Amino acid sequence: MFASRWPKHLPMHPGWLLESEIVLAASDSPVGLFEFEEVVLTSRGAEYWDGRAVHNPFIVRHKDHYLLYYMGTTHPFDDVSPGDELILDDPRVIVARSNKRIGLAISKSVHGPWKRLDAPILNVRPGKFDSYLTSNPAPCVDESGSVLLIYKARRYVGNGFSDMALGAAWADHFEGPYRPLREEPIFPPSQIHLEDPFIWKTDDGYRMIAKDMTGDVCGERHAGIYAYSENGLDWKIADNPKAYSRKVIWENGSIKTMGNFERPFLLFEDGRPTHLYAATSDGEGNFSGKNTWNMVIPLA
């Protein structure tokens, strides 16, 4: 498991934007417990595009290579000291958010060494829906090494930014170059507000689960939607759109609504999904939690 973490003295949100690092953990079973093994990627200096924080890891094995897609960002300010207040309008947060880009690190072992690219694989495009940031990579790597990449984006609106949108990009080889496939998002953001996509290939195209930011699609805010596409470019919401809920049924039969349910991932065994992983928290939602962790839900 590749996961992100950040210092406990920072609030969950927006602390992850400033000092997140990516770590490796391992377990003998898909349901854990996962034990920390090592730091994989961490800060390397403000002069690098991903020099201050790395987040949202997505690991793919392709033949004899491991491909670690992630979000990176930088800012020129001091770290947040324990006890300091951190709010969304803090200059560190504003600059780090606007510098979010998608990157790639490559290795022949999960233990490295990792070849960390010195430029984003997917940059912003002035005047487009992804002019402000690119983030939350969801790659699907073909046997040939080509990649369909679904990603989160925002556009500049004045000096601020828009709601989230999902874009599609393509690379003939995983090392790039990656090129956006559309001038507009794959869903109209005025009607469908999503983030945290996860995609996979099927015999007849592609499938996606993603986080419903408003609940307008699946009926529950921050639950998951299910979508499909024949070509990875033209996507449709399923007739039965709800993929998962923030309400989790525990082994003892109790039901709890999680404070957050982020970045859904599926584990596939013999071609079928067997476990759903998500980053979660306590609290009442809207990033109010004090504790965050990764959880796994075995699928029927």
**pTM of the shown model:** 0.96
In this predicted structure, the answer to whether residue 286 has a pLDDT above a threshold of 80 is no
| C-alpha R_g of the chain | 18
Q: What span, in angstroms and rounded, lies between the C-alpha atoms of 258 and 286?
A: 11
Q: What pLDDT score does 190 carry?
A: 83
pLDDT: which is higher, 143 or 284: 143
Instruction: Say if residues 123 and 101 touch (Cβ distance below 8 Å).
Output: yes
Q: 87-123: per-residue pLDDT in tens?
A: 999 999 999 999 999 999 999 999 999 999 989 999 9
Q: Tokens 């080509």 — which residue?
A: 146
Q: Is the distance from CB of 180 to CB of 171 less than 8 angstroms?
A: no
pLDDT, tens only, 156-180: 999 999 999 999 999 999 999 999 9
Length of the chain: 300
Q: What is the pLDDT of residues 188-200, one digit of tens each?
A: 988 899 999 999 9
Residue among 158, 157, 139 at smallest CA distance from 147: 139
- What 141-148 contacts at long range (C-beta under 8 Å, 24+ apart), as own/partner pairs, is 141/60, 141/62, 141/67, 141/174, 142/201, 145/62, 145/172, 145/173, 145/174, 146/170, 146/171, 146/172, 146/173, 146/174, 147/171, 147/173, 147/174, 147/178, 148/199, 148/206, 148/232
The stretch 191-213 carries a mean pLDDT of 96
Give dist(CA 134, CA 137) in Å, integer.
Answer: 8
pLDDT at 235 (0 to 100)? 97
Two structure tokens written together for 63: 């033949």
- b/e sequence 140-179, b meaning 16+ C-beta within 10 Å: bbeeeeebbbbbbbbbbeeeebeebbbbbbebeebbbebe
Taking only the tens place, the pLDDT of each residue in 224-264 is 999 999 999 999 999 999 999 999 999 999 999 999 999 99
CA distances (Å), origin 12, targets 52, 128, 244: 17, 30, 23
pLDDT of residue 129: 97
Average pLDDT in the chain: 95
User: Residues 215, 31, 291, 69: is their CA dihedral positive or negative?
Assistant: negative
Q: How far is CA 237 from its chain centroid?
A: 20
Structure confidence at residue 6 (pLDDT)? 96
The whole-angstrom separation of Cα 125 and Cα 165 is 14
Bridge partners of residue 210, in order along the sequence:
225
Mean pLDDT of 125-145: 97
- pLDDT recorded at residue 78: 95
Query: Residue 118: what pLDDT?
Result: 87
Q: Out of 203-207, 223-227, 282-286, pick the least confident.
A: 282-286
